[in-house]
């Protein structure tokens, strides 16, 4: 059984928590749990209720979209990455599958628990969103570059 102190320390080591003040960390630790996924195991499935998000401590996760010809891998995440922001949208529904491609250890956060705390304390809500937004912006930006097919045939890019 992982103690709160241990969880707090583990969260602290993750880039998501860098510079986080003690009050905020104490609040979010109360919604956190340690989880592990074996290679091949799904962490979340498209269409499912987005009631969590995850900080990847170690391992590798493939984000996939199911298609008639099989799963299409659109991105991989690994140590230090954050997985899942659909819990912030309405309705909170996962838009991808996420599958561990090797043994993966994560800290998961109960979105209902966190949402309740964010509603009760808008300053906390703001702080959490402030940490999510740059990551979301970075991912959208990366997805756009990926779509450009930079290395494909055609005129010089």
Partner 1 sequence: MKMDVQDSMVPVPFRIEKVRRELSDTFTMELKPEAGGAFRFQAGQFNMLYVFGVGEVPISISGDPGESGVLVHTTRAVGAVTRAMGQLEVGETIGVRGPFGKPWPVEQAFGSDLVIVAGGVGLAPLRPAIYQALANRDKFGKLVVLYGARTADDILFRKELERWRGRFDVEVKVTVDRATDRWAGNVGVVTNLVARGGFDPMHTTALVCGPEIMMRFAAQALVKRGVSPASVYVSMERNMKCGVGFCGHCQWGPHFVCRNGPVFTWEEASPLLAVREL
Ligand X SMILES: Cc1cc2nc3c(=O)[nH]c(=O)nc-3n(C[C@H](O)[C@H](O)[C@H](O)COP(=O)(O)OP(=O)(O)OC[C@H]3O[C@@H](n4cnc5c(N)ncnc54)[C@H](O)[C@@H]3O)c2cc1C
Nearest to 144 by CA among 93, 74, 77, 94: 74
Q: Does 149 bind partner 1 (CB under 8 A)?
A: yes
Q: Among 23, 41, 89, 146, indicate the residue that binds partner 1 (CB under 8 A).
A: 146
CA separation for the pair 43, 25 (Å, rounded): 24
Residue 70 interacts with, from partner 1, ligand X, none (CB under 5-8 Å by kind): partner 1
CA torsion through residues 7, 8, 12, 15, sign:
positive
Cis omega before residue 117 (within 30°)? Answer: no
Closest approach, Cβ 156 to ligand X, in A, equals 4
Q: Among 76, 89, 126, 137, indicate the residue that binds partner 1 (CB under 8 A).
A: 76
Residues in region 137-156 near ligand X by CB under 6 A:
155-156
Contact 46, 94 (CB under 8 A): yes
How do beta strands 60-67 and 70-78 pair?
A: antiparallel
Closest approach, Cβ 151 to partner 1, in A, equals 4
Which residue lies nearer to ligand X by CB, 18 or 156? 156
CA separation for the pair 98, 86 (Å, rounded): 12
Binding mask 30-69 for partner 1 (x = CB under 8 A): --------------------------------x-------
Which residue lies nearer to ligand X by CB, 68 or 154? 154
Q: Which residues bind ligand X (CB under 6 A)?
A: 155-156
């Amino acid at each position: 059984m992982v103690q709160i102190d241990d969880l707090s320390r583990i969260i602290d080591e993750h880039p998501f928590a860098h510079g986080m003040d003690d009050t905020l960390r104490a609040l979010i630790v109360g919604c956190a749990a340690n989880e592990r996924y074996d290679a091949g195991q799904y962490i979340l499935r498209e269409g499912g209720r987005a009631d969590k998000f995850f900080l990847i401590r170690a391992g590798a996760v493939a984000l996939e979209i199911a298609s008639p010809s099989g799963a299409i891998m659109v991105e991989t995440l690994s140590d230090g990455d954050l997985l899942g922001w659909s819990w912030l949208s309405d309705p909170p529904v996962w838009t991808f599958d996420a599958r561990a491609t090797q043994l993966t250890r994560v800290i998961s956060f109960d979105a209902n628990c966190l949402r309740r705390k964010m509603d009760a304390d808008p300053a906390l809500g703001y702080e959490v969103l402030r940490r999510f937004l740059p990551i979301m912006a970075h991912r959208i930006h990366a997805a756009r570059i990926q779509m450009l097919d930079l290395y494909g045939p055609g005129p010089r890019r």
